[in-house]
Amino acid sequence: MKKIPHHKTYKIIVLGGGNCQISLIKYLKHTGHFVILIDYLIDPPGKLFADIHLEISTFHISAIIDAALEYQVDAIITAGTDQPVYAGAQASEFLNLPFYISSDLAYALTHKRKMKDIFKHHCIPTVNFGYLRKTLTLDEINNLQFPLVIKPFDSQGQRGVLKINSSADLIHGMKESFLYTNESEILWESYYPNDEITISGWVSEGQTTIFSVTDRVTFDTEPHIGICTAHHFPSKHYINHKDTIVQLTKDLVQAFNITKGPIYFQMLVGSQGILVNETAARIGGAFEDVYIQSLYGINLDALLLNDVLGFPNELKNDNYMDTTEEVINVILFFASPGTISELSDLKVLLKEELIVDGAFNFKVGDTIGSIQNATARAGHLVIKGKNIAELNKKTQSVLDQVFILDDHHRNLLIRDDRSHYRP
């Protein structure tokens, strides 16, 4: 692996230029680094802050390698997104560049078949599961118990994640799910009614640190399910299940042999207790780098860069959850179909300190389609309060001021009561 000298500035490729990567890109620029942004979109939000933008898919490993060679970069980095972690690890290993995890570990954490096999081998509690080929026999179909959920092994943003209620729905659902993968199989899981929680943390010097446990609030547009609309901190399940959550987090770190870097685990709380849903080694996509810094003053982007470059990190606490009484509401809002003619000015909300962060994912003139997965998300708002009453008062005020207007002056913003913190 290439040895990175302790000088102040580096050439760094950032994989992904969406709003989830803005904090990382801004941090890199603020600390003097040269940023080459890789994102297949023509005009991603991160382009505004990067030095160079290359219209390359974050999944296209050989093209990422070619770009790294052309610009003689020192490192590759990403945050807030799943599959590019694997692409970054693969490209870094090929180029002998530093990265915070190996490509084998990145694969295990992002590929659902490998992930589930590790769960099984290490007795990590999870829902019943199996695998489906494109061609199913009648006996195989008859052995399945409905409802169930199907997922591609290697997709993200809820793409191809479908609830299947009967054998009649299965064939059609499989056709859609297979659109989001090149694999010959997909995953099936028993449907488990639950509340979702998300654990964000870090592994440093052999210590697992938890920064936040949030309620991951989702909605369904069946057969599409599990689309996230909000994160509430702290989770209403944290007090009653703290010991189990902490132990499962440590068990997962040990099972996957994670030695450093960010962790982002999703767990399900239901009648069978707490079951692990999915794992990742990344900064989360619910603007964790924004709200965790607001809560504790800890810069996750700085921690990530240190781990990528091979510099040490030191965290003083193994669980920061118990060090604050503040509450956070991350609203990941959606909109009804239509063409945008006007957007509210979120800078006003920032100036009035009603929000910590916020942005739209669309611009005036864009057309919003139907909601099938997280790619239809219209934007985000991060709101902080000293207590739940203040948080919900701020949330109400913010939502009253945010609008996405169409040509008929109709507000396309979907108001969801679940955006408010419900203890």
Homologous superfamily of 128-190: ATP-grasp fold, A domain (3.30.1490.20)
3-class DSSP state for residue 360? strand
H or E stretch covering 107: helix 103-110
What is the bridge-based pairing of β-strands 75-77 and 162-164? unpaired
Q: Where are the domains of the chain?
A: 11-99, 128-190, 195-419
pLDDT in tens, the chain (423 residues): 666 666 678 999 999 999 999 999 999 999 999 999 999 999 999 999 999 999 999 999 999 999 999 999 999 999 998 889 999 999 999 999 999 999 999 999 999 999 999 999 999 999 999 999 988 888 888 889 999 999 999 887 788 899 999 998 998 899 999 999 989 999 999 999 999 999 999 999 889 999 999 999 998 888 988 889 999 999 999 999 999 999 999 999 999 999 999 999 999 999 999 999 999 999 999 999 999 999 999 999 999 999 999 999 989 889 999 999 999 999 999 999 999 999 999 999 999 999 999 999 999 999 999 888 778 899 999 999 999 999 999 999 999 999 999 999 999 999 888 888 877
Is the four-CA dihedral 54, 56, 59, 61 of positive or negative sign? negative
pLDDT at 220: 83
The CA distance from 112 to 127, in Å, is 13
What is the bridge-based pairing of β-strands 185-190 and 224-233? unpaired
Which residues are within 8 A (CB) of 162 and not within 5 positions of it... i.e. 6 or more apart?
149, 150, 173, 176, 177, 223, 224, 225
Homologous superfamily of 195-419: ATP-grasp fold, B domain (3.30.470.20)
Contact call for residues 343 and 404 (beta carbons, < 8 A): yes
Q: CATH: 3.40.50.740, 2.102.10.10, 3.10.400.10, 3.40.50.20. Which one for 11-99?
A: 3.40.50.20
The CA distance from 92 to 102, in Å, is 9
pTM score, whole prediction: 0.93
What is the bridge-based pairing of β-strands 224-233 and 207-221? antiparallel
Residue with tokens 């990528």: 308
Give the closest residue to 287 by CA, choosing from 222, 347, 333. Answer: 333
Q: Residue 383: how many CB atoms within 10 A of its CB? A: 27
Q: Identify the DSSP state of 409.
A: -
CA-to-CA dists, residue 302 to 24, 75, 278, angstroms: 8, 14, 25
Phi, psi of 354 (to 5 degrees): -80, -25
Burial class (CB in 10 A: 0-12, 13-18, 19+), 409: exposed
DSSP percent split of the chain into helix, strand, coil, nearest 5: 35, 25, 40
pLDDT at 373: 76
